[in-house]
């Protein structure tokens, strides 16, 4: 059996690597993939861009691909699943309409409000006058968060500690600083608490848990500096209360799926729920309609089953035939640390040669030492790999405790060098 993963970053590397371990899997193609993925024998990068749906459909025919998994949010929002399914190609992920819970924050907030899902208080606006009036009148003790409605590569959210900053952000967004994504905005109450992300695999009717992860969004240690796509992650989140996952299932996933179904766009795929654990319990910060990056790089190595069986059951609406507790997870801890290029999250420097100790790219690294390298922003430079994007690569280590996994991950990362490499030193601490 041949499979296809759409996308080319670390998340897609982890998905393709995990799928390749399934029984009966011959090859996993990627569109586009990246040249670092060649470290894994069954993976094959095609260079076809994630948005070229017609070329992807041709590839599926040509390579006899029987199942497609969509990675990036943009592909979902552009209708990759609708396009491929209409051609009779079994594709895992939500339709364009179902992924609206991610690509419109105003839509997702309205859905949460009407379905009674716990979330921060908010209002939506499309004129600066109305938003400014609201901001000067409303009293929220802990501050304001301004969000662009549309997809903005993680840059569309500003947590404001003063009213002045909130007013200025409103003006900037509505004056076009976020492009079309910021034509509409959400003004939201700032929540105080600790963040965790919950992943549920959904089949339109029910959802099963796929794990919890905590990520590191800021570029520098102690959550300082600008936001990034994510500089690292760990799983499981060992600090939440015992019944946390079932509580999120009951209070969030269940009403979400019921609301989507009644709106005529049942949600099939992965829902990635960003949560703030507040004194009043968990509240939803956002929904994503896909796997997280870098959360996936820590979750995939922890899954102790054939992932394809689960993704197929979800696409076919048959999760009720699988164990309700979801795929089995290994009883160990995972820590994933990203190495980013100089300049990231601004303009990343490209073209620096990457030196990697050969032991890290051999299958034994995973098989004997539970250490796995995933590539993202890399290009071929002669026979070597060179930096070619913001987040260049990342490394996951598993061990009996989070602290051990953390030490192992940082120890192994020493075997990789490139000029100007940036990493956080506090992932998993």
**Nearest distance from C-beta of residue 229 to ligand GLY, angstroms:** 6
Part in contact with ligand AMP (CB under 6 A); list of ranges 6-14, 187-195, 262-270, 377-385: 187-195
Cis peptide upstream of residue 236 (ω within 30 degrees of 0): yes
| One of 40, 82, 215, 412 touching ligand GLY (CB under 6 A) | 215
Site for ligand AMP in 244-283 (CB under 6 A): 274
- Residue 191 near ligand AMP by CB under 6 A: yes
Name which of 271, 279, 316 is nearest 85 in CA terms. 316
230, 309 Cβ separation under 8 angstroms? no
Nearest in space to 395 (alpha carbons), one of 36, 47, 44, 153: 36
102 binds ligand GLY (CB under 6 A): no
Cα 333 to Cα 398: distance, rounded to the nearest angstrom: 5
Indicate which single residue of 56, 145, 329, 339 sits in contact with ligand AMP (rule: CB under 6 A).
145
| Cα distance between residue 382 and residue 8, in whole Å | 20
Give least dist CB 270 to ligand GLY, A: 11
Question: Which of ligand GLY, ligand AMP, none is residue 159 near (CB under 5 to 8 Å by kind)?
Answer: ligand AMP
- Residue list 262-291, contact with ligand GLY (CB under 6 A): 288
The structure tokens listed for 340 are: 């980013």
Segment interacting with ligand GLY (CB under 6 A) among 37-45, 89-97, 292-300, 315-323? 292-300
Among 10, 33, 150, 230, binds ligand GLY (CB under 6 A): 230
Count residues contacting ligand GLY (CB under 6 A)?
A: 7
Q: Which stretch binds ligand AMP (CB under 6 A): 2-10, 96-104, 189-197, 358-366?
A: 189-197
Angle (CA) 245-248-250 rounded to 5° is 110
User: What's the closest the beta carbon of residue 73 comes to ligand GLY, in angstroms?
Assistant: 8
**325 preceded by cis ω (within 30°)?**
no
One character per residue 295-334, x = contact with ligand GLY (rule: CB under 6 A) = x---------------------------------------
Among the residue ranges 19-27, 165-173, 190-198, 354-362, the one whose residues contact ligand AMP (CB under 6 A): 190-198
Q: Residue 418, CB half-sphere, CA atoms under 13 Å: how many? A: 27
> Please, which residue, 134 or 220, has the CB nearer to ligand GLY?
220
User: Which residue number is nearest to ligand AMP in terms of Cβ?
Assistant: 286
190 contributes a contact to ligand AMP by CB under 6 A: yes
Size of the site for ligand AMP (CB under 6 A): 13
Shortest Å distance, C-beta 413 to ligand AMP = 24
Site of interaction with ligand GLY (CB under 6 A): 215, 229-230, 288, 292-293, 295
Binding residues for ligand AMP, per CB under 6 A?
120, 145, 147, 157, 159, 188, 190-191, 195, 217, 274, 285-286
């Amino acid at each position: 059996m041949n499979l296809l993963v759409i996308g080319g970053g670390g998340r897609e590397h982890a998905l393709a690597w995990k799928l390749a371990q399934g029984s009966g899997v011959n090859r996993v193609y990627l569109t586009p993939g990246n040249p670092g993925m060649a470290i894994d024998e069954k993976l094959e990068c095609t260079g076809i861009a994630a948005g070229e749906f017609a070329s992807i459909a041709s590839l599926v025919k040509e390579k006899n691909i029987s199942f497609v998994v969509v990675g990036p949010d943009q592909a979902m929002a552009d209708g990759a699943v609708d396009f491929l399914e209409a051609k009779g190609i079994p594709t895992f992920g939500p339709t364009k309409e179902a992924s609206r819970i991610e690509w419109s924050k105003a839509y997702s907030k309205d859905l949460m409000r009407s379905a009674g899902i716990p979330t921060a208080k908010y209002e939506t606006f499309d004129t600066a006058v109305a938003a400014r009036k609201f901001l000067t009148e409303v009293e929220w003790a802990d501050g304001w968060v301004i969000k662009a409605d549309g997809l903005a590569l993680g840059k569309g959210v500003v947590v404001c500690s003063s009213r002045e900053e909130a007013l200025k952000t409103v003006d900037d967004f509505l004056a076009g600083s976020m492009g079309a994504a910021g034509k509409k905005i959400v003004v939201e109450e700032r929540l105080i608490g600790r963040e965790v992300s919950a992943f549920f695999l959904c089949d339109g009717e029910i959802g099963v848990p796929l794990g919890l992860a905590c990520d590191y969004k800021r570029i520098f240690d102690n959550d300082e500096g600008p936001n990034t796509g994510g500089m690292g992650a760990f799983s499981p989140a060992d600090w939440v209360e015992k019944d946390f996952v079932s509580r999120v299932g009951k209070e969030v996933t269940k009403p979400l799926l019921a609301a989507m179904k009644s709106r005529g766009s049942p949600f099939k795929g992965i829902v990635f729920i960003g949560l703030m654990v507040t004194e009043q319990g968990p509240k939803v910060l956002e929904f994503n309609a896909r796997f997280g990056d870098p959360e996936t790089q820590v979750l995939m190595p922890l899954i102790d089953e054939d992932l394809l069986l689960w993704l197929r059951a979800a696409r076919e609406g048959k999760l009720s035939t699988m164990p309700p507790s979801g795929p089995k997870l290994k009883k160990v801890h995972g820590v994933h640390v990203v190495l980013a290029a100089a300049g990231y999250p601004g303009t990343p420097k490209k073209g620096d040669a990457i030196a990697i100790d050969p032991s890290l790219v051999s299958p034994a690294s995973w098989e004997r030492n539970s250490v796995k390298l995933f590539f993202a922003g890399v290009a071929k430079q002669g026979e070597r790999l060179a930096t070619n994007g913001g987040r260049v690569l990342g490394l996951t280590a598993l061990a009996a405790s989070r602290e051990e996994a953390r030490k192992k991950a940082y120890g192994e990362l020493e075997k990789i060098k490139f000029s100007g490499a940036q990493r956080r030193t506090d992932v998993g601490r």
